[in-house]
A and B are shown apart, each in its own frame.
Chain A
């Protein structure tokens, strides 16, 4: 084919070769191609990239600062609790006569068991602290106002569920402190008029702390509450992405007349 210089517009010209594509970089190019085509294969069938782009590449207002990371920090605390909790569950025995021993074994004998249990234990406190900081940021920046009231409500539900997590999780090591703290906690619950006594019976699975109380707390702690929390976090994040974040209250609206098309 004779070399013809066609008047191709610059946008349609093939891009110049990158240095890596000259010879020895070809293997890497092919690997990259394979990766891209695998991602394309999935994306063609699920259209996930649109959603991912919608979620991750959002426009954020000027003035966004480090305080806006507290929500993500809370999310990562929750993820850390989830991952460590799943693996702690492999060693834990929710039985009144064996629970303490299983925790002792996990802490003293299992490789890195003390570390993972420590992460779960201290992480729970970190999560509660982060939630309150995140809540404070939302409050003081006025980010709970219209149209974000629903997200505030979901956030409060998440806070309450997290406190339930702390309460149910506190019993599980089953040492003296956790046992008596739970006795006291259930008694506090029982001081609610009319329904309190019945709720206490539900929590203890009977009138006294019994054989299935621990299993009940364990099931609520590791199945019921995390499921609800994960679902609500999904709703929380969806609303954040949909509504966008607010500018800090000290940012003033841009009043440059040049930027106002319709008032010019």
Chain B
């Protein structure tokens, strides 16, 4: 029975009859040395494993600032159709770090969301919200079409067909020094409310915004 064995368990090594026991010693020296050696090994292994893991995980917590990038004077854009512009999302990696953005002037007849300082121009990301393939704007049908799995979006970027779970992501825009500038990306739900940027494939309607958390270091602009 467990209770009995606990009671009868010798408290000191001399009680247990271990040869060469000191008076009042509760742990034998052999046991102590074994524990010390194992403990030292564990500490040493942790000392190189944790920092190594840390540099692997660090990028998840790094802050990323998307700088504002000029894409041309306001005369380049109209409120009827989209003009494709290339911005740099990651510097120093060549083509990989570039992304196409579709830009047009805000059109009160199409764009029903509230007018504020960041949406005088509408900049729509070319990244399909299904799984991240590049969509292209087809002027003839006034739609964004994804080549991978048939996702289709209307002129506002809302899903009209296919698997995408939310409308196309957008970028903040502003006019500075006579040039239209593209800022950080944000996501929108089906009511065009702004959310911190999510990855493709993640719905943000309803419970989606909680089970697909935005990364703590990349947020939408405060107060938008």
Contacts and interface: CB of A to CB of B under 8 A. Distances in A.
Interface of A: 96-97, 179-180, 183-184, 186-188, 190-191, 193-194, 196-198, 200-202, 204-212, 216
29 contacts: A96-B94, A96-B97, A180-B132, A180-B148, A183-B131, A183-B132, A186-B132, A187-B131, A187-B199, A190-B212, A193-B212, A194-B213, A197-B199, A197-B213, A200-B199, A201-B59, A201-B60, A201-B215, A202-B56, A202-B59, A204-B59, A206-B64, A207-B64, A207-B215, A208-B64, A209-B96, A210-B59, A210-B93, A211-B97
B133 A209 contact: no
Interface string B101-144: 00000000000000000000000000000111110000000000
B133 A183 contact: yes
> Which of A179, A186, A191: most chain B CB closer than 10 A?
A191
B211 A194 contact: yes
Nearest to B94: A97
B166 to A, nearest CB: 12
Q: Is the interface of A mostly helix, strand, loop or mixed?
A: helix
Contacts of A208: 64, 89-90, 97
Interface of B: 56-57, 59-60, 62, 64, 89-90, 92-94, 96-97, 130-134, 148, 197-202, 211-215, 217-218
B215 A184 contact: no
Given A196-B212, A202-B57, A184 B132 contact: yes
A187 B200 contact: yes
B35 to A, nearest CB: 27
Nearest to A224: B56
> Which of B130, B131, B197, B215: most chain A CB closer than 10 A?
B131
A50 to B, nearest CB: 30
B129 to A, nearest CB: 9
Given A187-B199, A208-B89, A193 B60 contact: no
B202 A197 contact: yes
A212 B92 CA distance: 11
B132 A197 contact: no
Given A97-B94, A194-B213, A197-B212, A187 B59 contact: no
Nearest to A190: B199
Given A197-B212, A201-B59, A211 B93 contact: yes
Given A207-B197, A211-B92, 6 more contacts: A179-B96, A190-B201, A193-B212, A197-B214, A201-B60, A206-B62
A207 B202 CA distance: 14
Nearest to B208: A193
A60 to B, nearest CB: 40
Nearest to A184: B131
Nearest to A98: B94
Contacts of A179: 96
A61 B201 CA distance: 51
A126 to B, nearest CB: 27
B209 to A, nearest CB: 12
Contacts of A191: 201-202, 212
B55 to A, nearest CB: 10
Contacts of A193: 211-212
Contacts of A96: 93-94, 96-97
A186 B132 CA distance: 9
